[in-house]
Amino acid sequence: MNNEEYARMHALETDYWWFAGRRAIIAQLLNTARAEIEAASPRLLDIGCGTGANLPMLRDFVGDGRVVGADFSPLALQFAQRHPASHNVLLLRADGLKLPFADDSFDIVTMLDVLEHLEDDCLALQEVRRVLRPGGALVWSVPAYQKLWSAHDEALHHFRRYEFRALQKLMRTEGFSIRKISFAMSLMPPIAWLWRRLVLPFAPRRPRDATRHSQGAILPQVPSPFNRALVGYLAAEGKILTRRPLRFGTSLVGIAVKKRGSRQ
């Protein structure tokens, strides 16, 4: 991402509804994935840990276990080191396509809106599978619907958005067994549609020679009561989707398990 986006993320991701709501959803998925984890003190790798707002949640999840946060951006890691939870976390710079860890090193891996940032998502999942122990779990979130591609994706340096069936096929091809997969952020598709129909057509257009990533991510301010209501709604959505999948939303989330006996 652009350096400005890391600064914005650091300023917003503790309380802003999208980040806080996604965290509530992922916490529910982690609790569901606990049944797959044999270790009493699990080792967890967070690939693309960003500026670190998820570290407290991940630390709480592993208990006496270990959290390792990896990110390719030195600036993101500098922000992450400012979080109080970071003193109990190993933070290091790493390439998601060539992880600096031995085979079968982790009980659980999280990739929270990260896979879309990696040019070769097949290789990225191969690396996840390699560092997971057999039976270990991957918990992920990615943006959904390629047709919703916008300047927001460009500002965040996305390579793609994902379709439900294509993501299922990708996970299975790379040696994972899917335990849960669901859409999330179910309120957002109509909002995104209205934004593109009613706002973007009247917004100033960028010059043709503007750089691809010159605009910032679209994170509009919302009043505090509305922000809290959205977080509460997404926390409830997280409880629902762990029991039955949602049929639409602007994100795809899930749990996949490394098949026992799968190739490294």
CATH number of domain containing 84: 3.40.50.150
Q: Domain for residue 264, yes or no?
A: no
Are 90 and 99 in contact, with CB atoms under 8 Å apart?
A: no
Whether the per-residue pLDDT at 230 is higher than 60: the answer is: yes
Q: Which residues, listed in sequence order, are joined to residue 108 by a DSSP beta bridge?
A: 44, 137
pLDDT single digits (tens) 164-211: 999 999 999 999 999 999 999 998 876 666 665 665 556 554 443 333
Whether the per-residue pLDDT at 212 is higher than 90: the answer is: no
Q: How far apart are the C-alpha atoms of 101 and 109, rounded to whole Å?
A: 12
What the block records as the tokens of 151 is 């300047």
pTM: predicted TM-score of the whole model, two decimal places: 0.88
Q: How far apart are the C-alpha atoms of 46 and 238, rounded to whole Å?
A: 20
Are 143 and 171 in contact, with CB atoms under 8 Å apart?
A: no
Q: How much of the chain is helix, strand and coil, in % rounded to 5?
A: 45, 20, 35
Three-class SS state of 257: strand
Query: What domain range is 22 assigned to?
Result: 3-202+211-258
- At 82 the pLDDT is 87
Strand order across the 66-71 sheet: 89-93, 66-71, 43-47, 106-112, 132-143, 251-258, 176-184
Q: Domain for residue 194, yes or no?
A: yes
Are 86 and 80 in contact, with CB atoms under 8 Å apart?
A: yes
Q: What is the mean pLDDT of the chain?
A: 88
Q: Domain for residue 263, yes or no?
A: no
Q: What is the count of structural domains for the chain?
A: 1
Of 73-82, 154-163, 192-201, 202-211, the one with minimum mean pLDDT is 202-211
Q: Domain for residue 144, yes or no?
A: yes
| Start-to-end Cα distance in the chain | 30
- At 13 the pLDDT is 84
Q: How far apart are the C-alpha atoms of 105 and 136, rounded to whole Å?
A: 10
pLDDT single digits (tens) 231-247: 999 999 999 999 999 99
Q: Domain for residue 51, yes or no?
A: yes
120 versus 215: the higher-pLDDT residue is: 120
Task: State mean pLDDT over 60-75.
Answer: 95
101 versus 3: the higher-pLDDT residue is: 101
- At 11 the pLDDT is 77
Task: State mean pLDDT over 123-132.
Answer: 98
Q: Domain for residue 17, yes or no?
A: yes
